[in-house]
Amino acid sequence: MDTNTESGVDRGSCLLLRYASQNSLDESSQKHIPRPSSKEKPPYRNSNHAHRAFDVMKIMRKQNLLCDVRLVADSVEVPAHKMVLAACSPYFHAMFTSFEESKQERIVLQGIDPQALQLLIDYVYSSEVHVTEENVQVLLPAANLLQLTDVRDACCDFLQAQLHPTNCLGIRAFADLHGCIDLLSSSETYIEQHFPEVVECEEFLTLSHSQVSKLICSDHLTVPSEEKVFECVISWVNHALENRQSHLAELMEHVRFPLLPQDYLVQRVEEEPLLKASLKCKDYLIEALKYHLLKGEQKAHFKTPRTKPRQPVGLPKDESLVTNGELEKAEVVDLPSECAVGNSGFVEVLLVVGGQAPKAIRSVECYDFSTETWSSVAEMPGRRCRAGLVVLGGRVY
């Protein structure tokens, strides 16, 4: 009897303790114990979730599961999901939310290459597309149409990396046609920097007269001498003489004849049969010869669009001057004639010694900063270009 009582008490005590412990756990679980030093834990985020979801949707599209639209280009039909297309392309977003195509299950797309459509829909689901020489010319216009700007930019980057003297004119025209501003700018810069090579290629001879005019009027052409510009115009006109001779004077207006050597003007330009038949071209020749008769400061005051030296892209826009023995930076002053190669500054003057136009020359010209004028000083006994100068004891060596 006692034993059973004791056992009952023990069992009751265990139950009470267990019950009390359970209640304590429940109460403690409902209490928020502040932790002053701890920060609020951010929500769980699975960085692979979207990628996995698109992988599944890609498989579903290939199996034609839950596809609610078929895109048609020529004879090719591509199944897809409207929601996925609308999420990735503003073009499809507008189509499926604002136009009658939202209710259609089969949509014919005009003006898009079938191969490009297939590649772009694959890109929507996979975020990958392989741009090649074979597909870039159909892929870029299609990406433009469907407003897949990432693919369009990838095509532009690919074409920019392919720029070469043999294709840069075609790439420029392609970029202009499809409104690729960055590619257009890059190709134009490339053409200016590789002008001598570009004009030797077949593409140059196929340009229109307005395209040639726009090209050779640029101040940024990189040319060893103006002779290259003159010769390319003659070659272009002779390529289709009957149709192009009427544009000769318009093009020669952009050739900077005064910058040509005098002997080249007399022996080559004056003897060119095409120029002999054009009064306007003769005027340009006379202007150049007159320019060569001028000296020093007279040339500085003889200014026409054809006496302005070209400034190729990439050349420095400042020069170093030696002033009182210290090296300082100064703004480049437009020279009246030849482009200076060696120069040295005193306290208030800048000397331009020798140079190349295109042969080495003897002239020495002085710019006075106080009066902002140029003047000629004694010439050197010998021709020099790319010379180094030093000022010592008030003399220039």
Which CATH number does the domain housing residue 222 bear?
1.25.40.420
Q: Are residues 151 and 100 in the same domain?
A: yes
CB 81 within 8 A of CB 67: yes
Q: Is residue 169 domain-resident? A: no
State residue 387 phi and psi, 5-degree precision.
Answer: -90, 150
Q: Burial-class residue 179 by CB neighbours within 10 Å (0-12, 13-18, 19+).
A: exposed
Would 78 be classed as within a structural domain?
A: yes
Asked whether the bond before 358 is cis by omega within 30 degrees of 0, the reply is: yes
The verdict on 281 and 369 lying in the same domain is no
Distance of alpha carbon 373 from its chain centroid, rounded? 39
Q: Do 211 and 158 have their domain in common?
A: no
The model's pLDDT over 144-186, given as tens digits with 9 standing for 90+, comes to: 999 999 999 999 999 999 999 999 999 999 999 999 999 999 9
Q: Report pLDDT for 28.
A: 52
How many Å separate Cα 250 from the centre of its chain?
29
Residue 154 and residue 212 share a domain: no
Please indicate, yes or no, if residue 25 is contained in any of the structural domains: no
Which one-letter DSSP state was computed for residue 192?
H
Determine whether 155 is exposed, middle or buried from the number of CB atoms within 10 Å of its CB (0-12, 13-18, 19+): buried
Supply the pLDDT for residue 68: 93
Residue 354's domain comprises: 349-396
- Does residue 357 fall inside a structural domain? yes
> Quick check: is 355 in a domain?
yes
Please, what is the average pLDDT of the chain?
A: 83
Residues 6+ apart with CB under 8 A from 345: 321, 322, 323, 330, 351
Same domain? 290 vs 354: no
Question: Is 59 in the same domain as 118?
Answer: yes
Specify whether 237 is located in the same domain as 144.
no
pLDDT tens across the length of the chain (397 residues): 454 555 544 554 454 445 555 555 555 555 555 565 567 889 999 999 999 999 999 999 999 999 999 999 998 999 999 999 999 999 999 999 999 988 999 999 999 999 999 999 999 999 999 999 999 999 999 999 999 999 999 999 999 999 999 999 999 999 999 999 999 999 999 999 999 999 999 999 999 999 999 999 999 999 989 999 999 999 999 999 999 999 999 999 999 999 999 999 999 999 999 999 899 999 999 999 999 999 878 888 888 899 999 988 754 443 333 333 333 333 333 334 433 334 444 447 788 888 765 567 778 888 877 777 888 777 787 777 767 777 776 677 7
Number of structural domains the chain divides into: 3
Residues 55 and 151 in one domain: yes
Q: How far is residue 112's CA from residue 147's CA, in Å, rounded to a whole number?
A: 13
Is 326 part of a structural domain of the chain? Answer: no
Tell me: do 291 and 356 sit in the same domain. no
- Residue 250 and residue 150 share a domain: no
The residues, ordered by sequence, that sit 6+ positions from 352 with a Cβ below 8 Å of its Cβ are 335, 338, 340, 343, 364, 365, 366, 367
Let me know whether 299 and 360 are in one domain.
no
Instruction: Check whether residue 270 and residue 359 sit in a common domain.
Output: no
Q: Is residue 338 part of a domain?
A: no
Provide the CATH number for the domain around residue 74. Answer: 3.30.710.10
Distance CA 146, CA 127 (A): 15
Choose one of 125, 143, 162: the last residue of a domain. 162
Where a domain ends, among 162, 195, 219? 162
Tell whether 31 is covered by a domain.
Answer: no
